[in-house]
Amino acid sequence: MMIDIQNLRVRFGQGADAVTAVDGVTLSVREGESFGLVGESGSGKSTVLRAVSGLNDDWTGRIAVAGTEQGPKRQKGFYKLCQMVFQDPYGSLHPRHTVDRILAEPIAIHGLGDADARIDRVLRDVGLGPAFRFRYPHQLSGGQRQRVAIARALVLEPRVLLLDEPTSALDVSVQAEILNLLRRLRAEHGLTLVLVTHNLAVVANLCDRLAVMNRGRLVEEMSVDELRRGAAREPYTLQLLRASQGYDRATAESFRDYA
């Protein structure tokens, strides 16, 4: 197992205001697998990802990545193994750093050396090429920025890529390019992907297996083949599937809240 999560709980706030954002989630992702974590806002899907990545250190349960048990604080070596790409490439890149500097930083932190060749290689890898190396983020389109964010994650040659809504801030034609890129990178580098999204069609395109979350709980796990056949078992998942098929007056009427 590349990622093994047992009974993960994350709470925010104190006393009466406390919210249980993740409520006893257990799931595992095999090496080389592409796993989708699906849910609506507030379902806890991103919080699971942030706990795995070490961005959220206040959790209980067990998280193991590549067979190593993880504590609240991560060792430097962890980030060589596991990297994250965020939703908004307009916010996740330093506006006053060039692409070159953005990509050189992780190399310097991990003391990898040979920065020049690594940056050159990773830029080609994400389909940008050396011409983009000395540009600033504001000189790039949204799709190009997301490619830089992916390059920044890949430059450490990680084995796991955590993706938090990597295409939802992008136009659909650009989304297609990024999905194709992620599929190619996964095949070439044998990456394990964990993709958090609200978009079932994106999961169907990129993932092998998925888990559906609602209000901090894992509702159901299924293969993408089952998703494609509409073979969901839980009413919540079926509702999500119907909602993603476009507007229909009668369907909208049938929706209800699942606690």
Partner 1 sequence: MTDRKMADNAPLLEVSNLRVAFPTRTGMAEAVRGVSFTLGREKLGIVGESGSGKSMTGRSILRLVPQPGRVTADRLAFNGEDLLAASPRRMRDIRGRRIAMVMQDPKYSLNPVMTVGRQIAEAYRVHSKAGAAEAKRRALEMLAAVRIRDPERVYDRYPHEVSGGMGQRIMIAMMLIPDPDLLIADEPTSALDVTVQMQVLAILDDLCSQRGMGMIFVSHDLNLVASFCDRILIMYAGRVVESCRASELHAAQHPYTRGLLASLPRIDEPPGDLPVLSRDPMWLEA
Task: List contacts with partner 1 (CB under 8 A).
Answer: 40-41, 142, 171-173, 175-177, 179-180, 183, 198-202, 204-207, 224, 227-228, 239-241, 243-249, 251-253, 255
C-beta closer to partner 1: residue 4 or 165: 165
Q: Is 25:44 a contact under the CB 8 Å cutoff?
A: yes
* In the complex, minimum distance from the CB of residue 255 to partner 1, in angstroms, rounded to a whole number: 5
Local structure of 227: helix, strand or coil:
helix
C-beta closer to partner 1: residue 14 or 254: 254
Residue 178's contacts (CB-CB under 8 Å, 6 or more residues apart) are 143, 146, 147, 150, 166, 167, 170
* In the complex, minimum distance from the CB of residue 236 to partner 1, in angstroms, rounded to a whole number: 10
C-beta closer to partner 1: residue 1 or 238: 238
What is the distance in angstroms between the CA of the first residue and the CA of the last residue of the chain?
Answer: 31
- Measured CA to CA, the distance from residue 195 to residue 116 in angstroms comes to 30
Residue 102: half-sphere exposure toward Cβ, Cα within 13 Å: 27
- Measured CA to CA, the distance from residue 246 to residue 132 in angstroms comes to 38
C-beta closer to partner 1: residue 115 or 176: 176
Handedness of CA 106, 111, 114, 116 (dihedral sign): positive
* In the complex, minimum distance from the CB of residue 203 to partner 1, in angstroms, rounded to a whole number: 8
Helix (H) or strand (E) holding 19: strand 19-29
Residue 252's contacts (CB-CB under 8 Å, 6 or more residues apart) are none
C-beta closer to partner 1: residue 1 or 204: 204
For helices 99-109 and 142-154, the axis angle rounded to 10 degrees is 20
C-beta closer to partner 1: residue 22 or 63: 22
Q: Is 115:104 a contact under the CB 8 Å cutoff?
A: yes
* In the complex, minimum distance from the CB of residue 239 to partner 1, in angstroms, rounded to a whole number: 6
Tokens linked to 83 = 């990297």
C-beta closer to partner 1: residue 106 or 143: 143
* In the complex, minimum distance from the CB of residue 34 to partner 1, in angstroms, rounded to a whole number: 9
* In the complex, minimum distance from the CB of residue 213 to partner 1, in angstroms, rounded to a whole number: 12
* In the complex, minimum distance from the CB of residue 51 to partner 1, in angstroms, rounded to a whole number: 22
